[in-house]
Chain A
Amino acid sequence: MAERSAAGARVRAVAAKLNAAIVRDGRTLDSVLTEPAGLPERDLPLLRALLYGSIRWHHRLAWQLERLLTRPLGRSRRDAELAALIRLGLFQLQWLRVPDHAAVSATVDAAAAIGAGQRRGLVNAVLRRFRREERQLDAAMADSPEAFRSHPRWLIDAIEKDWQGRAGEILTANNAQPPMWLRVNTCRVGVDEYAATLTESGHSAQRDDTAPAALLLDEPVPAASLPGYADGLVSVQDAAAQLAAAYLDLRPGQRVLDACAAPGGKTAHMLESCPDLAEVVALDRDPDRLAIAQDNLARLGLSATWLACDAADTETWWDGRPFDRILVDAPCSAIGVVRRHPDIKLLRRESDLDAVARLQARLLERTWPLLGSDGLLVYATCTVLKRENHAQIERFLQAAPDAALAGGRSRGQRQLFPGEANMDGFYYACLKKRDARQGSRA
């Protein structure tokens, strides 16, 4: 005997298990996707689409499921996986171009593969009831911002508090599928020249005024399939992250500190945009991630001085020689890149914010003295929360009399909102060190 739906059911069963590993066990999307899924290559794009989609819309799907069940499911792993499977079914009915009957039957069949074969009837009943009651559910969603925005309540509140008029836009952009940006290694190839190579190999991409080395691909593709990727002609990096190198205003002969370097995208970009830097000292607390950064630079034919340590513990690593430029790409809540990492909405807790803000403040305070006079420190985050951005810098400026925003309060900092010019949400502040001999901050 042969099964038609065997493959379809298998990929859905795997997706349900991985979804539950994120929702129930708090694992990250990236980490569950690196494990071998036991699926043939051709099923992997569908697995990714199912997993990203079901996590992106998790809050809405969970709200719908709660209303479609007459009795709630239990707390066991098996029940958590069954709930995940039904949410996946609901996701397919609303967002995937799979015919209803195929989505339902493959999802129902997957129940057996996650050890819930006796509950096929439940899966089937919930999915069919959803189709019948879809309009009423949509109407009822108006009363639940959590379901409507598909964000946790605390995050909706935090974004609304900081950005009243723009909050809706930010929340919508967080749920959009991100585009794929490339950064051309301008040491090796011109941007227009590389764009032509892309066209020849059947891709198409647009240049962008904001980030000089950036190309926006019309259709995302696996990085490894890009022409010259293995040879280091190109990297994958959002245009917003590519602004760091520009804000650093690098000049030949400068000594640069990248205080939180992993995974090395911005480190590499500095060296690509100004190959004659005297030295780039690249730090990260996590040795494993630092190794990834090192590999990334090796692929691009670049090198830096790598140190696995906490940049804020300056006494453990600093040799006493000042830096001309410092990049503090600080750990943050990452609320500006939710569209790329939808699991942030599930894994981040409001209570994490205190610790992360303290970490940022400490990094600023401790690295600032390493900057030579007339030097520039660029502080960057990929979040939109003011507490980590404008308020953090405001606080720092009050404590550091020799620091000022380069170009003044309005031009020295910039908040990019997710989706703005197709970019991720980023914040940059450019802090200039004034010569202490020039005295007070008049």
Chain B
Amino acid sequence: MARLAILEYPDKRLRLKAEPVEDVDDEIRGLVSDMLETMYAAAGIGLAATQVNVRKRLLVIDVSEARDEPHVLINPVIVHAQGKISSEEGCLSVPDVFDYVERAEQIRATYLDLDGRPAELEAEDLLAVCVQHEIDHLDGKLFVDYLSELKRQRLRKKALKKVRRSANEAPRQSISARLI
């Protein structure tokens, strides 16, 4: 088990399209368990492989109150969607940003389970929203893409400033480390 680093917007790797998983083997199962650990540790309700810099179509979700109902979807495809729901979303890769996004209210998705067997999930409300949000990640899309151009520009500026700040801090840390 290991906690993985989560890529943060505007990291370009979040824009890469993920490839289907060919074999659900022990390596995939290991990745799944690391992703679950990472998601729980970050208090997230969903995490896509893209966010941990793995270009595979794989995601983990747990929207339960008790944090004890994990869903693992490999090669997920939405085969049916209906209704509309607008809810406030946030993303572990876009920290501290929350905004309303319109999605399908109910969906049906097919996927492979941890044994590589085909399975189906019917979801509504938050779970449905979360599945759509995570599948977007696998296609290189972020929830902020749905926001207005103005909002996105502001977000980009803020995120870049943060990246520059941490870049400036890094050398100072390494100097003091050497002094010790």
Contacts and interface: CB of A to CB of B under 8 A. Distances in A.
Contact of B89 (A1, A105, A118, A120): A1
Given A1-B45, A1-B90, A105-B88, A13 B98 contact: no
Contact of B130 (A1, A5, A105, A117): A1
B14 to A, nearest CB: 14
Contact of A1 (B66, B92, B95): B92
Contact of B46 (A1, A13, A118): A1
Contacts of B124: 117
A3 B125 contact: no
Contacts of B169: none
A112 interface: yes
Contacts of A3: 45, 88-90
Contacts, number: 44
Contacts of B129: 1
A4 B126 contact: no
Interface residues of B, number: 24
The A contact surface, by secondary structure, is: helix
B91 to A, nearest CB: 6
A2 interface: yes
A246 interface: no
A2 B92 contact: yes
A69 B22 CA distance: 54
B7 to A, nearest CB: 14
Contacts of A4: 88, 90, 98
A112 B125 contact: yes
Interface string B7-46: 0000000000000000000000000000000000011111
A321 to B, nearest CB: 58
B65 interface: yes
Contact of B90 (A2, A10, A13): A2
B76 to A, nearest CB: 14
A6 interface: yes
B57 interface: no
Interface of A: 1-6, 10, 13, 38, 105, 112-113, 117-118, 120
Interface of B: 42-47, 61, 65-66, 88-92, 95, 98, 124-126, 129-130, 133-134, 143
> What 3 A-B pairs are tightest by C-beta distance, nearest first?
A2-B90, A1-B46, A4-B98
